[in-house]
Amino acid sequence: MKKLLLLLLVALASCQQTPELQTGIWRATIPTPGGELPFNLDIQKEENGYAVQVLNGEEKLKMDHAFVKNDSLHIPMEIFDAEIVAKVGNGTLKGYWKKMRSDFTFIQTDFNAEFGKDHRFTSVKDAPKVSVSKKYSVLFLSADKQDSTQSVGVFETIGSQVRGSFLTTTGDYRYLAGDIIGDSLKLSCFDGTHAYLFKARIEGDKMSGGFWSAPTGFESWAAIKDDNAQLPDVTKLTYLKKGYTTVDFSFPNTENKKISLNDTTYKGKVVVIQILGSWCPNCMDESRFLAPWYKKNKDRGVEIIGLSYEKSADTTFAFPKIKRMKERFGMDYEVLLAGTNNKDEASKTLPMLNRVIGFPTTIFIDKKGQVREIHTGFSGPGTGHYYDEFVSDFNRLIDKLLAEKP
CATH of the domain at 44: 2.40.128.120
Q: What pLDDT sits at residue 12?
A: 43
Give the CATH number, domain containing residue 348: 3.40.30.10
Question: Within a domain: residue 54?
Answer: yes
Q: What pLDDT sits at residue 377?
A: 93
Q: What pLDDT sits at residue 15?
A: 44
Q: Are residues 104 and 145 in the same domain?
A: no
Q: What pLDDT sits at residue 108?
A: 95
Question: Within a domain: residue 219?
Answer: yes
Q: Are residues 207 and 258 in the same domain?
A: no
Question: Within a domain: residue 29?
Answer: yes
Question: Within a domain: residue 120?
Answer: no
Question: Within a domain: residue 307?
Answer: yes
Question: Within a domain: residue 92?
Answer: yes
Into how many domains does the chain fold? 3
User: Which of 115, 143, 161 is the last residue before a domain boundary?
Assistant: 115
Per-residue pLDDT of the chain (406 residues; tens, 9 = 90+): 545 444 444 444 444 566 899 999 999 999 999 999 999 999 999 999 999 999 998 899 999 999 999 999 999 999 899 999 999 999 999 999 999 988 889 999 999 999 999 999 999 888 898 999 999 999 999 999 899 999 999 999 999 999 999 999 888 999 999 999 999 999 999 999 999 999 999 999 999 999 999 888 999 999 999 999 999 999 999 999 999 999 999 999 999 999 999 999 999 999 999 999 999 999 999 999 999 999 999 999 999 999 999 999 999 999 999 999 999 999 999 999 999 999 999 999 999 999 999 999 999 999 999 999 999 999 999 898 899 999 999 999 999 999 998 8
pTM of the full structure: 0.89
**What would the pLDDT profile of 200-255 be if each residue is shown by its tens digit?**
999 999 999 999 998 889 999 999 999 999 999 999 999 999 999 999 999 999 99
Evaluate the CA torsion angle 148, 151, 157, 161 in order and state its sign.
negative
Q: Are residues 205 and 335 in the same domain?
A: no
> Taking all residues of the chain, what is their mean pLDDT, rounded to a whole number?
93
Question: Within a domain: residue 141?
Answer: yes
Q: What pLDDT sits at residue 170?
A: 87
Q: Are residues 393 and 362 in the same domain?
A: yes
Question: Within a domain: residue 125?
Answer: no
Structural domain harbouring 69: 16-115
Q: Are residues 399 and 260 in the same domain?
A: yes
Q: What phi and psi values does residue 201 have, to the nearest 5 degrees?
A: -90, 135
